[in-house]
């Protein structure tokens, strides 16, 4: 099978898998599928190996560790090393603008700054000292966030929109999610750093994809490759088509083409996640609230006492107050909270 077909098949498989997980994540189908797959695998894999896999998965995803931070920096370093080593030099020889070529490095510097801030900043840890003031920030909806709920681990009353993170072992104000890539929770006080980090990471991947694509197109045009011919398996003379051209470029410049495929796929994945994150920010939702939002909570929450005949109460977003106010809550959380207290 041709390289291009294999690559497109792999890209389509990854994208379909990601979309399927996003669609099924709010239903019971995914959990049932995972349980069924785990039962099948448990019949094949020896018990000792299963225990080892469970320990590794628990360490990676249920404890705070720097594995994904190192992996993130390693992948980013490898991509930028290839861009610097080959693409940058070739583009200079072809007369590309230096400002155009330096844009990925500018995005890298900004990205690393906000990546660091996302890693080390306090996401909004709720303590006994600040719990009372944080209780005044958001209104309780009595569906997803009922009043007088207490965290029995942290021994504090839970403000609306907060959640206890089992990985970090702390309650987080306006909890969004725990991100393994930054080894930190994303909450009220560092959501802006994470959003800019995600934006610059997407932009840097897309910029390198554009620069590499323009370089390869320019190389084909300058060398007149698109005018060449080749002899096929039947001995007939054929004009070079796009499939043959891409395979030829892969054989000639394999690292650049492989890097291009990687950053293109990364651009699609990060771009989709960025759009989702911007949607949540614009509507003043968190990932935690979006994930739990379509359920009827009076039948699922054991802490809320309701009559047996009570109708299911579906969660509705009561925190959205317009686009600019919602974005202000992300980028200026302290000012937004002070304004709410005054109102």
d(CA 145, CA 139): 9
Q: For the purposes of burial, counting CB atoms within 10 Å of the CB of 278, is it exposed (0-12), middle (13-18) or buried (19 or more)?
A: middle
Contacting residues for 143 by C-beta, under 8 A, at least 6 apart:
297, 298, 313, 314, 315, 316
Structural tokens at position 133: 């003031």
Torsion on CA atoms 230, 234, 235, 241, rounded to nearest 10: -20
- Alpha-carbon distance of 229 to 225, in angstroms, equals 9
User: Which CA distances in Å does 181 have to 67, 237, 307?
Assistant: 8, 51, 43
CB 294 within 8 A of CB 26: yes
Phi, psi of 179 (to 5 degrees): -105, 120
Which parts of the chain fold into alpha helices (H)?
3-24, 29-44, 47-62, 67-82, 88-93, 98-120, 131-135, 191-222, 242-252, 254-282, 287-292, 323-331, 333-342
* CB-based contact 240:230 (threshold 8 Å): yes
Catalytic option among 151, 179, 275, 338: 179
151: annotated active-site residue: no
Catalytic residues: 179
């Amino acid at each position: 099978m041709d390289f291009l077909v294999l690559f497109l098949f792999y890209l389509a498989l990854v994208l379909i898998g990601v979309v399927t997980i996003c669609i099924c994540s709010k239903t019971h189908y995914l959990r049932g599928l995972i349980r069924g797959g785990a039962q099948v695998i448990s019949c094949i894999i020896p018990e000792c190996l299963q225990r080892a896999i469970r320990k590794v998965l628990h360490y990676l995803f249920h404890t705070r560790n720097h594995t994904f931070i190192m992996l993130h920096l390693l992948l980013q370093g490898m991509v930028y090393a290839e861009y610097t080593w080959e693409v940058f030099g070739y583009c200079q020889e072809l007369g590309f603008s230096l400002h155009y070529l330096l844009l990925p490095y500018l995005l890298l510097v900004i990205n690393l700054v906000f990546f660091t801030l996302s890693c080390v900043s306090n996401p909004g840890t709720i303590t006994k000292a600040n719990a009372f003031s944080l209780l005044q920030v958001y209104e309780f909806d009595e569906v997803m966030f009922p009043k007088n709920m207490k965290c029995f681990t942290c021994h504090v009353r839970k403000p609306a929109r907060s959640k206890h993170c089992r990985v970090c072992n702390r309650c987080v104000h306006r909890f969004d999610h725990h991100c393994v890539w930054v080894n930190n929770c994303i909450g009220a006080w560092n959501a802006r750093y994470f959003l800019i980090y995600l934006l610059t990471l997407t932009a840097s991947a897309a910029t390198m994809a554009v620069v590499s694509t323009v370089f390869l197109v320019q190389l084909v045009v300058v060398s007149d490759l698109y005018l060449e011919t080749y002899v096929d398996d039947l001995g007939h003379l054929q004009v070079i088509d796009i499939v043959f051209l891409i395979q030829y470029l892969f054989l000639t410049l394999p690292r650049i083409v492989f890097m291009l495929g990687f950053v293109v796929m990364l651009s699609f994945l990060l771009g989709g996640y960025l759009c989702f994150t911007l949607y949540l920010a614009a509507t003043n939702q968190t990932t935690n609230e979006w994930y739990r939002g379509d359920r009827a909570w009076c039948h699922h929450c054991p802490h809320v006492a309701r009559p047996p005949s009570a109708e299911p109460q579906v969660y509705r977003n009561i925190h959205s107050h317009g686009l600019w106010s919602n974005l202000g809550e992300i980028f200026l959380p302290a000012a937004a909270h002070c304004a709410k207290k005054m109102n």
